[in-house]
Chain A
Amino acid sequence: MIKGFAGRVLEVDLEARTAVFRPLDEAIARLYLGGKGYGTRLLYDLTPPGIDPLGPENPLIFATGPLNGSLAPQSNRFAVVCKSPLTGGIGSSACGGSFAFGMKKAGIDVLVVRGRSAGAVRLEIDGDADEVRFLDASDLWGLGTGAAQKALGKGMHHAVIGPGGENLVLYAGIVSDARIAGRCGVGAVMGSKRLKALSIQGTRKLDMEDEAGFKKYTQWVRQVFKGHPVLGEKLRRFGTMGIVNTTNGRNMIPTRNFQEGHHPDAMGLSGEYLEDHGLAGVRSSCLHCPVACGREVEVPGAGRVKGPEYETVGMMGTNLGVTDLEKVSHWNWMADELGLDTISLGVTLGFAMELQERGMLETGLRFGRAEGVAEMIEAIAHRRGLGDDLAQGTRRMSEKYGGKAFAMHVKGLELSAYDPRGSYAQGVEYATTNRGGCHVQGASMYFESTGPLTINPQNLKLKAELPVVQQNLACAVNSMVLCIFTTYGLIPRQVHALKPGGWTHRLARVIFENSGPAYRLIMGSKLLQVTWLDTWLSRITGLRFTPGHLQEIGARIFNLERMYNLREGLTGADDTLPERILREPLFKGMDSGHPLDQLLPRYYRIRGWDSHGVPLPETLRKLKVRT
């Protein structure tokens, strides 16, 4: 078995109450690494087309990668893969917490949960004894995610759902510690199986090819991260909320359901404000992460709890026209307890507010007013009254009540908190990402608009190349499974240190902006090297990672996801953006919306797809994607 992998897949059938350990498929691990890539391959192979995402035949796949279980920074994460009930296409989500560490300690790389239990059930997995216990969970059913983990006790690593998942809210997530695999409704799939919780433990040691070399190299990377302006300073100091003032200043923070990109009071939701006002209790992090981008906040009635992330203050703050940090923190805590994705939740609430504003539906929710929001969140999680409709997400709401032009989703997945009219490459990414409108399947906005080398968002240069490279990279990183923030470390500190407006900065920016042809050349010859990611992998696995190898693996995963989506009926026509984004200008002086129609053909060509967005046979052959 390749080093770094435990070498085992655990397959559990909740209906038959069986648990079988199988060997990990080495060939798949070589081609797809682990995490999202391995999970997607399994999903493709295990299921026929057209299955019901909430039916017992949809497998829920938890997958780690070769770096999980090591002490590499930002490496204790797991991927969850299944058919998404929200989009009907590939569903994938990633989560920090400690469950991934538990899986590797238990000697399990991948855990496949199939079938549906007759009653509420939880699993206890003892990796040392190779024992899987099916336990009655009716006493836990209905509990919030924090309360459920508390009841399960310390000593094992848990992954649980809240009432949102139990009640099949289509954007329910899976929670481990204080982190959530929020996107694509993976929690609803777990709820459809009547599986409340997974608890895992073990004491196995990760077998590495070159342990001493890996440790030494990791020490060096830790030092790099520590001195890095984003990872070691900004993210560490202000958390992800440190981006609020930037996106607000750039007119990119969703405001009133993406009607605007700026809120005059957004500063009160920023990481800087949180720090200065002593509101950030303590930093919190995923296991073994030196960046510690999380914050804890005081919420009346709940005590000190996990604070909101940038996405949450964007989607449940400015997007609702609300800049009261206490309110947003409270809603964030509720969403975490109920096990709901705050991005999809915030967009759906914003959509409901706009329906109200336009007189299309009496929702009782109004932009800028906090009244009724907490009650609606409860109603959504328990599928009561109008909450039952909101639990279906924005796309289905718009199909029922109208307003498709301002339903802010792609492929059914609600957009995240970066308005793509201020970040064209991000818009291409939203439109083409296989799981739908999401920012962490590439994060072009950082390399394009919010990071240190901000290029002009209103021309077409680099706007198709960047998403391809970023999506491939993210696929590889999500299969290792590392935190996407590691990729931010790829822009060296020296670039961050350039003075805005100085000639070196201008020169660097012009070079970056005009590097499209070079990107295409490099992509074609697979020369794109991602230094420490490759080195880590090589020292753990013993496999040689040649220049461009991670791009190739990422492209393979992306194309397989694409083939899965095509199989499930999603086509190139779904590679689009909400009409509001395409048509309505965001900035004063902007004539129209996002120029996706001009960028998509170029994107398809670079991908090696035909004009309908279907991968060409030679592309699949070259990437060794078997369908």
Chain B
Amino acid sequence: MTVTLELTYDMAKALGTRALQVEGARTVAEALRAARERFAGREGDFERMAGVAAIAVNGVLVAHRREGVRLADGDLVTFVKTAAGG
């Protein structure tokens, strides 16, 4: 089972990648854990920026931090920041 984790712009810039493929994560919490491991040595950056973003699964905000939300193969998990625009 593979899910895609998309980072915010700031995270992508600091961590050098825009998206990660995560194998075998069955919940949002597991996907986040896998991401943290991927950024070993830069967890500080990851936590700081992830901490001010909400999380969406396939575009739907998952009540911001319901990390137990289950994932299915092909799901897209996105860090999202609020914005303004016209």
Q: Which residues between 264 and 293 of chain A lie within 8 Å of chain B, taking CB atoms? A: 264, 267, 270, 272-273, 276, 293
Assess A485 versus B86: contact at CB under 8 Å? Given A245-B81, A249-B79: yes
Is A267 a contact of B12 with CB atoms below 8 Å?
A: yes
Chain B residues closer than 8 Å to A230, beta-carbon distance: 84
A262–B59 Cα distance when bound, in Å, is 8
Beta-carbon nearest neighbor of A443 in chain B: B86
Q: Which of A102-110, A234-242, A406-414 contacts B (4 or more CB under 8 A)?
A: A234-242
Least CB distance from A214 to B in Å reads 26
Assess A505 versus B60: contact at CB under 8 Å? Given A245-B8, A272-B10, A588-B75: no
Q: Could you name 21 residue pairs across A and B whose Cβ atoms are closer than 8 Å?
A: A235-B84, A241-B85, A242-B83, A243-B83, A245-B80, A246-B80, A246-B83, A249-B78, A251-B76, A262-B59, A267-B12, A272-B10, A276-B13, A451-B82, A484-B86, A496-B82, A501-B54, A506-B64, A509-B64, A587-B59, A588-B72
A74–B66 Cα distance when bound, in Å, is 39
Is B13 a contact of A456 with CB atoms below 8 Å?
A: no
Instruction: List the interface of chain A (C-beta within 8 A of B).
Output: 230-231, 234-235, 240-243, 245-252, 261-262, 264, 267, 270, 272-273, 276, 293, 309-311, 422, 439-440, 446, 450-452, 454, 456-458, 484-485, 488, 496, 499-501, 505-506, 509, 586-590
Is A588 a contact of B74 with CB atoms below 8 Å?
A: yes
Chain A residues closer than 8 Å to B63, beta-carbon distance: 456, 506
Is A246 a contact of B82 with CB atoms below 8 Å?
A: yes
**B42 interface residue (CB < 8 Å to A):** no
Assess A234 versus B83: contact at CB under 8 Å? Given A267-B9, A276-B13, A500-B52: yes
Beta-carbon nearest neighbor of B53 in chain A: A500
Beta-carbon nearest neighbor of A422 in chain B: B59
Beta-carbon nearest neighbor of A230 in chain B: B84
Chain A residues closer than 8 Å to B52, beta-carbon distance: 499-500
Is B56 a contact of A250 with CB atoms below 8 Å?
A: yes
Instruction: List the interface of chain B (C-beta within 8 A of A).
Output: 6, 8-10, 12-13, 18-19, 51-54, 56-61, 63-65, 72, 74-76, 78-86
A42–B51 Cα distance when bound, in Å, is 52
Chain B residues closer than 8 Å to A235, beta-carbon distance: 84-85
Assess A485 versus B9: contact at CB under 8 Å? Given A454-B54, A500-B52: no
Least CB distance from B36 to A in Å reads 16
A30–B86 Cα distance when bound, in Å, is 29
A446–B84 Cα distance when bound, in Å, is 7
Chain B residues closer than 8 Å to A243, beta-carbon distance: 83-85
A234–B86 Cα distance when bound, in Å, is 12
Beta-carbon nearest neighbor of B13 in chain A: A276
Chain A residues closer than 8 Å to B85, beta-carbon distance: 235, 240-243, 246-247, 310, 450
Beta-carbon nearest neighbor of A311 in chain B: B86
Chain B residues closer than 8 Å to A248, beta-carbon distance: 78
Assess A501 versus B65: contact at CB under 8 Å? Given A310-B85, A454-B82, A484-B86: yes
> Could you say which of A440, A484, A501 has the most chain B C-beta atoms within 10 Å of its C-beta?
A501
Chain A residues closer than 8 Å to B60, beta-carbon distance: 250-251, 422, 456-458, 587, 589-590
Is B82 a contact of A499 with CB atoms below 8 Å?
A: no
A242–B58 Cα distance when bound, in Å, is 21
Least CB distance from A267 to B in Å reads 6
A210–B9 Cα distance when bound, in Å, is 46
Chain B residues closer than 8 Å to A457, beta-carbon distance: 60-61
Is B82 a contact of A450 with CB atoms below 8 Å?
A: yes
Chain B residues closer than 8 Å to A452, beta-carbon distance: 82
Beta-carbon nearest neighbor of A265 in chain B: B18
Chain A residues closer than 8 Å to B81, beta-carbon distance: 245-246
Least CB distance from B67 to A in Å reads 9
Partner of B59, one of A250, A293, A310: A250
Chain B residues closer than 8 Å to A590, beta-carbon distance: 60
Is A501 a contact of B64 with CB atoms below 8 Å?
A: yes
A267–B9 Cα distance when bound, in Å, is 7
Is B65 a contact of A500 with CB atoms below 8 Å?
A: yes
Is B80 a contact of A234 with CB atoms below 8 Å?
A: no
Chain A residues closer than 8 Å to B72, beta-carbon distance: 588-589
A597–B27 Cα distance when bound, in Å, is 33
A394–B82 Cα distance when bound, in Å, is 31
Chain B residues closer than 8 Å to A586, beta-carbon distance: 59
Beta-carbon nearest neighbor of B4 in chain A: A264
A452–B54 Cα distance when bound, in Å, is 10
Is A245 a contact of B84 with CB atoms below 8 Å?
A: no
Is B86 a contact of A251 with CB atoms below 8 Å?
A: no
Chain B residues closer than 8 Å to A242, beta-carbon distance: 83-85
Least CB distance from B50 to A in Å reads 10
Partner of A251, one of B8, B9, B12, B58: B58
> Could you say which of B19, B59, B61, B79 has the most chain A C-beta atoms within 10 Å of its C-beta?
B59
Assess A505 versus B86: contact at CB under 8 Å? Given A499-B52, A589-B58: no
A586–B81 Cα distance when bound, in Å, is 20
Least CB distance from B33 to A in Å reads 16
Query: Which 5 A/B pairs are nearest by Cβ-Cβ distance?
Result: A251-B59, A243-B85, A501-B65, A246-B83, A249-B80
Is B86 a contact of A587 with CB atoms below 8 Å?
A: no
Least CB distance from B51 to A in Å reads 7
A538–B35 Cα distance when bound, in Å, is 54
A509–B54 Cα distance when bound, in Å, is 13
Beta-carbon nearest neighbor of A495 in chain B: B82
A262–B58 Cα distance when bound, in Å, is 9
A293–B53 Cα distance when bound, in Å, is 23
Chain B residues closer than 8 Å to A251, beta-carbon distance: 56, 58-60, 76
Assess A250 versus B61: contact at CB under 8 Å? Given A272-B9, A276-B13, A454-B54: yes
Chain B residues closer than 8 Å to A262, beta-carbon distance: 59, 76
Chain A residues closer than 8 Å to B6, beta-carbon distance: 249
Is B82 a contact of A309 with CB atoms below 8 Å?
A: no
Chain A residues closer than 8 Å to B82, beta-carbon distance: 246, 450-452, 454, 496
Chain A residues closer than 8 Å to B75, beta-carbon distance: 588
Least CB distance from A178 to B in Å reads 15
A484–B84 Cα distance when bound, in Å, is 11
Chain B residues closer than 8 Å to A450, beta-carbon distance: 82-85
Least CB distance from A205 to B in Å reads 31
